[in-house]
Each structure stands twice: as structure tokens, then as C-alpha cells.
Structure 1
Amino acid sequence: MIALSDKFLKGRKLESLVENQTSYTLRNAAMHIFETHKQANEVLLKFEQPVLASMIVGKKVMHLRDHQAFDFLPGESLILPANETMCIDFPEAQLKNPTKCLAMAISEEKIHKVLQLMNENMPKDNGNEWGIMDYNFHFVNDLGIYQIVQRLMFLFTENHSSKDFFVDNMLRELIVRILQTNGRKIYTRETIALSGDSRLSFIIKYIRGNLHETLSVEELSKKAYMSPSHFHRVFKNELGISPIEFINNERIKLAVSLLQNSKRKIKDVYMECGFESRSYFNRVFKTKQHISPGEYQLKMQHNLH
């Protein structure tokens, strides 16, 4: 299990700098929705059960031991183990533009029941059994998981006599999707950190630091001292997606963050994110977010009012 260092935690106590917290508790899960109305740093939160954390509006900066701090943006989710202390910064929260996030604690009994069901009815191709998920696992642009989270938000807040039953069924689908996605080993910061290939780790950092520039497989392979074909193969084996897919994912993550500002022009956003044309930006954005950049910006503006 990954936790914050003892040096960091020494002398600190758990504090809530979150302005509003609304909690809903059902049989196998509890959902907590937070709104932060002012900038805050090093806010500590901990739950006694495994947690799915998801961003709704705004940006958080997450800190975990042995890993660089990373931005946590709308549409992204993070799986954390029980009793994991989260250290969170809220760099952009404002009274008129609050940061909204969700933390859902799922009972370990429920997780183990789903694992048993999967092993009985959905065996892996390689013959191995399904096991507990990797924690500190970061999901980016996973529409299936995002839509389930949205549905769970509705179910938890609905006044319905059967909502425990509805939520249980939705939790089962959520756990199955998480485990299957986890099993495909899509790219995560942890995968990169654990990789023995320092050249690839350097390339990842270079991409993230130069999204506004023109990035090509040929250029990146030269920086990694590999042929383009070998670089493409190594990259996809390590991260589960191609270099171009990774670059586009990172650019759309940045665009999602920038478009939350209703004053930003879409032309400026796509150029800042490194897209060469508005039409290509629109196509990639809609493929990954299932909504156009303009519609997304309007939706975010509506959510803030």
C-alpha cells in the first residue's frame, strides 16, 4: 500500500478545509460529495474502506508517496485502498467557481463477492484468477466508469425505496469494469514509475512538458535512442496504448482543464494544447469526451451557475 511519508505526516492532524460535504450511506457503499470554495493546500482525507475518487468540476493536485504530484481533472477517477491518507491541494477553488469532487467508499465484502462472481463466470483467458485491484490506479478518459459514477450520484440522492438494490447492481458493474480495465494495464503514472526503462520515463516527462509543441514518433524515438518501430512497440507494450494515443490523451486532459474557463477562446485552447487544426481538435475531443469542445465549455459554465 502506498502512503504519505512519516516525515510529511509528523505533527499534522486531519483537518477539513472543504466548505461543504454531503454524505450518503447505503448498505455496501457511502458517497461523499465535496465542494471547496477557497484555495487550500495539504488537505488530508482518509477512509476506512477502499475509495473511488472522481473529479466533477475544477482541479485538484494529488500527492502520494514516491510519486510526483499530479493534476486530477474532471472525468478522471482514482482507486485508493482503505486507510490511505490523501493529501490534496485545491489551487483554483473560488467562491464563485468551487471545486467539486466525489469520494465513494465501497465495502471490501462487496468487492470480494464480485471477485468470486467473476472467477466463477468470467474466467481470464490466461487461466489466472481475478484478484484484488491495484490501488492508486488512475483512470483517464474511461467513459464507461465515468457514466457509472454519474448514475451512482443520481441513485444515491434519489428518494426511492429500492435504491439499495439499484446501487448494489451498479456497484457490481463498476467493480467489474475497474478490474477489467486494471487487468489491461492501461497507462498510469505508477506503471511509468515502476518501469525499468528510464528512457521511456524521460519521454513521458518530455511529452507532458511539451504538449504545445509538434510531437512526432520519429522525434520521440530519436530522443529515446530507438528506431521508430522499436520505440512504438516498446511504448505500447509498457503503456498499453500507442505514442500518438498517449499524446492525444494528455492534450485532451489539458484542454478539459482550460475549457472550464468560459472566457478562454477555443482557438487559443487547441493551439495551447498542440493541435494543428480546429477540425482535428474537435474530432479527437469528441471521440474522447463524447461532446464537442464548445458544448463542453457551455456545460461547465452551466454547472457553475
Structure 2
Amino acid sequence: MQLSERFYKERKLEHLVENQTSYTLNNAAMHVFETHLQAERVLLQFDQPVLASMLIGKKVMHLRDKKAFDFLPGESLILPSNEMMCIDFPEADQDNPTRCLAMAISDEKIRRVIGLMNETMPKHDGSEWAFVDYNFHFTNDASIYGIIQRLLYLFTENHPSKDFFVDNMLQELIMRILQGSRKKTIGENASKLAGHNRLAYTIDYISTHLHENLSVGELSKKACMSESHFHKTFKEELGVTPIEYINSERIKMAVKLLQDPNKKIKEIYLECGFENRSYFNRLFKRKIKASPGEYQSKFMG
């Protein structure tokens, strides 16, 4: 991610180890931390829910009820209010600082967005949208990446309407995070939830039939919904269309299969349910940033 020239001009050295540059608006505050020396067990806490995103370098995070894990560029972490973070900086140095974004979002803003979601796009199973009350660690998809990049620009921009601009972006960010959390929960527990959740049933069905020709019409029948209602419900709750979800799962499967250097690419894309190699190549490169052949070559002796 790119930081603006304004950021570099306004940052201030807080102490020898770290720069902290902060921008505060009505419903959120953005802090960019630059750590210049290796350190261990650094404690950090915010009194509001926080989106943390790695920009450059590596952290090792120690959080409650979770094993220590690497926190890398392209990844984000949602933390509830007053959650204590314990952080190691194993690679930071003066010339290559570790750089991380922490965006604290007001509880009131989050409550308003959740209320809007429950009013206008209620879940099909009758449960209500709620803010994640655990440590949700995820890889940014293109939409989340784009929003964070835009917010980085807006917070540092000198514009009289930036509070309004940021407010709109925060609404989309919160909605997409909740949809991503919902997708992860249903995806990881599909077989357990399949008996009483229609989307979980179709997700479970997709996972065991990726090699087959899957259509929205067929899946909507499995969910006992009309095709239009199924498509709308799937997109609103999981943040992606059924076809986008299927393609994403097929690419994940292809990534695993390509780690075997003896498998033919044609064999792999057919096994993953793709009928057309050029379509497979295009989707794979868009998501993995390398062609299937380039990716497989990494595993050749």
C-alpha cells in the first residue's frame, strides 16, 4: 500500500523505536506506526474497535485465546474495544521499518451500520448482524484493499468534506468486514450448519462438487429459493456472488494441486471444474498474481 507525501511530512518521532502519525475525524482515528528497531512483547490497546492492517514488514501477534501468528502485508485484523495486543517486531530496523495501520472506529458508527444492515438486508436464518467480538484475522481481498487505500488517502487529505467522505467509506468497510466474517464462519462450519442453514447447505454442496458443472439455478433449488432470491441472499450475506465464490474455491483447490510438479495443468483445471483453460488462466493470474505454469514451477526440483 502507498502512503501519501503528506504522511511523510507530518509524521513525528515519538521515541527512538517508533514513529506514530495520527489523524482524528468524527467517527474514526487512523494511526500509522513505523517501528525502527527489533522489539518483543510490545503492548498496545485501543478503547474502540480497531482494524489493524500490515503495510510493510512482519509482526508476530500474541492475542488471547489464540496461538501466536505472523502478521504480514496484505493481511488485516479486527480487534474489539480494549483488546490487549502483545507484539513482536523480529525484522524491524532503521532502514527498513515495520509499518502498520491501526484504524479505531467509534462504537456508535458501527452500531448505526449494523442497524442499517439488519433493517435492509436481514439474514435469511433470522439471526442478526453483530460486530465480531473475537480476533478476526484475514487476507484483504481486492475490495477491502481498495477501501483501506482510499481511507489512507482521505485521512491525510486536506479537504473540508473529508469527514463526510470517510464516513461513507467506513460504512462500506464495516459491511464488507461483516460479510467476510459471515463467509468465513459458514465456510468453516458448513457441514455442521447445513441442517438448519440454507446457505451453509449450498456451501457444503459446492465444496464436495467443485469438479462438476455448478449453476446458480441448480444451487438455488438446493437452497429451496428462487434463483433471484438465492443470488441476492448469497451476495448480501457473504459479500460475493455464488459464481465468484465457486471460482474462488476452485482456485484454492488449484493452488494445492499445482504444488505437485508432476501433475499436468490440463488435468488440474479439469479436476477443479474448469472447462476452459484460458478462463482458468485468467482467474488464476488475477487472484494469485502468477500464471498456473509460473506458480507450479516454484515446486519443481
Q: What TM-score do the two structures reach when normalised by structure 1?
A: 0.60
Distance change (3 Å), C-alpha of 1:163 and 1:33: same
Distance change (3 Å), C-alpha of 1:40 and 1:274: farther
In the TM superposition, 1:74-223 aligns within 5 A as: 74-185=73-184
* 2:36 equivalent to 1:37: yes
Take 1:157 and 1:186, find their aligned partners in 2: how far apart are those partners? 34
Unaligned runs of 5+ in 1: 1-14, 197-228, 234-239, 252-272, 294-305
1:245 counterpart (233, 252, 261): 252
Unaligned runs of 5+ in 2: 1-13, 193-203, 209-244, 266-280, 292-301
Amino acid in the other structure paired with 1:32: H
SS of equivalent to 2:150? helix
Deviations 1:17-61 (A, max 9, x none): 741000000000000001111111111100000000000111111
* 2:88 equivalent to 1:51: no
Tell me if the contact between 1:38 and 1:94 (Cα under 8 Å) persists in the aligned partners. yes
Take 1:285 and 1:60, find their aligned partners in 2: how far apart are those partners? 28
Take 1:142 and 1:158, find their aligned partners in 2: how far apart are those partners? 24
Higher relative contact order (CA 8 A, sep 6+): 1
Give 1:259's aligned residue.
none
Take 2:57 and 2:63, find their aligned partners in 1: how far apart are those partners? 20
Distance change (3 Å), C-alpha of 1:92 and 1:181: same
Tell me if the contact between 2:251 and 2:284 (Cα under 8 Å) persists in the aligned partners. no
Tell me if the contact between 1:53 and 1:79 (Cα under 8 Å) persists in the aligned partners. yes
Q: What TM-score do the two structures reach when normalised by structure 2?
A: 0.61
**How many residues matched?**
211
Take 1:68 and 1:149, find their aligned partners in 2: how far apart are those partners? 27
Tell me if the contact between 1:18 and 1:34 (Cα under 8 Å) persists in the aligned partners. no
Give 2:20's aligned residue.
21
Take 1:187 and 1:36, find their aligned partners in 2: how far apart are those partners? 37
Alignment RMSD (CA, Å): 3.6
Take 1:118 and 1:146, find their aligned partners in 2: how far apart are those partners? 22
In percent, how many aligned pairs have the same letter?
64
In the TM superposition, 1:258-269 aligns within 5 A as: none
Deviation at 1:121, TM superposition (A): 1.1
Distance change (3 Å), C-alpha of 1:54 and 1:17: farther
Distance change (3 Å), C-alpha of 1:119 and 1:287: same
Deviation at 1:283, TM superposition (A): 7.0
